[in-house]
């Protein structure tokens, strides 16, 4: 059973998400919050597997709430999915940097949202590669970003560096394998080694390190 905390300041959105999850086997809504501070409190109280986090809310934003949740050792296994409407919300990259494991547009189909929650709960990250490519590139193109290379970026092999750059493009392991003409298992191994060397929590954080280090 995947425990989900729903965070959104709109009652109707929370109601809709709860109805969706309550009608699906394998999901349980463990709590709701209507603002960022309540989100952190509820995350600590309910310890969900996944938090569905809105960005723009009263009090502290969902972005700050995500940072606070990610910074707490007792919530280290809690994963956050940011639900965003990009044309009104340009915090995608900062959300990933702050600790979110992925993000989705609010008009995502219900089946895709459910699959996204399953993916993140299973330890996956950086959902919907095509959306990832579009949103991050759009965000970066409109936002100045000073390079702050990861202090251990030089520990990556040449192949691992290539792989990290492709992860930052939103490619899956299979797509990376096709691009580099290697097996998916080898691609997965390179990704895993890069994550260990850089201390990345998940693929989402690996993307952040790639952009900060100028690999993408």
Span 18-54, pLDDT tens digits: 999 999 999 999 999 999 999 999 999 999 999 999 9
Q: Give the containing element (helix H, strand E) for 4.
A: strand 2-7
Q: How far apart are CA 210 and CA 183, in angstroms?
A: 22
Sign of torsion, CA 170 171 173 174? positive
Q: Which CATH number is 133's domain given?
A: 3.40.50.2300
Query: Is 29 in the same domain as 95?
Result: yes
What's the pTM? Answer: 0.70
Length of the chain counted residue by residue = 216
Give tens-digit pLDDT for 152-164: 999 999 999 999 9
DSSP 88: G
Please give the tally of structural domains in the chain: 2
Query: Which of 141, 175, 204 finishes a domain?
Result: 141
């Amino acid at each position: 059973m995947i425990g989900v905390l729903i965070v959104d300041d709109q009652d109707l959105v929370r109601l809709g998400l709860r109805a969706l999850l309550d009608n699906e086997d394998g999901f349980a809504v463990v709590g709701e919050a209507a603002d960022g501070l309540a989100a952190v409190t509820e995350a600590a109280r309910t310890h969900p597997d996944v938090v569905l986090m809105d960005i723009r809310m009263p009090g502290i934003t969902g972005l700050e709430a995500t940072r606070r949740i990610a910074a707490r050792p007792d919530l280290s296994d809690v994963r956050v999915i940011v639900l965003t409407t990009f044309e009104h919300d340009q915090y995608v990259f900062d959300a990933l940097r702050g600790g979110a494991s992925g993000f989705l547009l609010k008009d995502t189909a219900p089946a895709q949202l459910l699959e996204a929650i399953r993916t993140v709960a299973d330890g996956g990250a950086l959902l919907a590669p095509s959306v990832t490519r579009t949103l991050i590139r759009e965000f970066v193109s409109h936002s100045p970003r000073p390079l702050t290379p990861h202090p251990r970026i030089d520990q990556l092999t040449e192949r691992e560096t290539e792989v990290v750059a492709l992860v930052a493009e939103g490619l899956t392991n299979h797509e990376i394998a096709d691009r580099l003409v290697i097996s998916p298992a080898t691609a997965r191994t390179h990704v895993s080694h890069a994550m260990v060397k850089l201390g990345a929590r998940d693929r989402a954080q690996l993307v952040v390190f790639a952009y900060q280090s100028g690999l993408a």
